[in-house]
Amino acid sequence: MPELPEVETIATSLGPQLVGRRIKAIEKLDWEKMVEAPDLASFQQLLPGRTVLAVYRRAKWLLCTLDEAWTLALHLRMTGSVSVNDATFLPDKHTHLVLSLDNGQNFFFRDIRKFGKVKLLDEIGLTKLNASFGPEPLGPTFNPAYLVTQLVRRRGTLKPLLLNQKLVAGLGNIYVDEALWLAEIHPLRLANSLVEAEITQLYTAICAVLRQAIAQKGTTLRDYRYGNGQMGENQKQLAVYQQTGKPCSRCETLIERLVVAQRATHLCPTCQKAPNGKISPLPATL
């Protein structure tokens, strides 16, 4: 699933192609369940004719600000991708939404597994979407003091808490693993077992791995693309995520994989000391 850096990269690459363009028509919508709001008939009636004013990201949602206070919100889920293409480029069977633009190009939403979602939100709907997420990790309200207040009062396991979108928006499995490795903190630590210095170190690590990934245009492991099909480069920089059996770049201990909250989790057993002794790696799925 694309996480914050990937969706940020997509938004940045789409902005110049979409801003100022008017959506002429919905040329294709063959997977009606992808439309979450409003009802399908209203979506088909309200979207054509709208002009794109801005393209940005909130958490893992790609948002297109439209005129008359509407917002087109897209979530790519596992295998979704979006692109702007010339009229000669025909959609394949996995392209489930096609919007024609006033310059003759088309906007494609392609999704092999059909998990992606689309919403057309009014101002109330956008406010509710924003309220469902915690602060942006690269924004001004996410800082060491905030993270301290959130973690010291919680007894839960650290990694699932960091994946909680109400605590911090946009983090997913890749960047939580990378941040915990960089901060030298084991993912099974209880949140309230961390001292303030460790939480500050974790905050710094979260920001660092996200900024690096954005600079590298995201992490392409399988389906993620941005722009018109370009792959990200951050997969070349990963320290632990999907690096099982490879030497840690810091201490050369072999990277291990275990299951935390049903998620594959990657770590260095030397750099990231387990809270209760060594924990044997378990088979895991991504």
Question: 157-184: string of b/e by CB count within 10 Å (b at 16+)?
Answer: bbbbbbbeeebbbbbbbbbbbbbbbbbb
Q: Answer yes or no: are the C-beta atoms of 192 and 155 closer than 8 Å.
A: yes
Of 50, 60, 117, 119, which one is the catalytic site residue? 60
Q: What angle do CA 183, 185, 189 make, to 5 degrees?
A: 150
Question: 110-141: string of b/e by CB count within 10 Å (b at 16+)?
Answer: bbbeeebbbbbbeeebbeebeeebbbbbbeee
Neighbours of 270 (CB within 10 A): 14
Active-site residue, 281 included: no
Active-site residue, 236 included: no
Q: Give the span between the Cα atoms of 241 and 221, in whole angstroms.
A: 10
Q: What is the dihedral of CA 206, 249, 1, 132, to 10 degrees?
A: -10
Q: Give the span between the Cα atoms of 108 and 223, in whole angstroms.
A: 15
Active-site residue, 275 included: no
Total residue count of the chain as it appears in this document: 286
Q: Give the span between the Cα atoms of 115 and 76, in whole angstroms.
A: 7
Of 159, 263, 269, 281, which one is the catalytic site residue? 263
Active-site residue, 178 included: no
Q: Answer yes or no: are the C-beta atoms of 96 and 33 closer than 8 Å.
A: no
Catalytic positions, written as ranges: 2-3, 60, 263
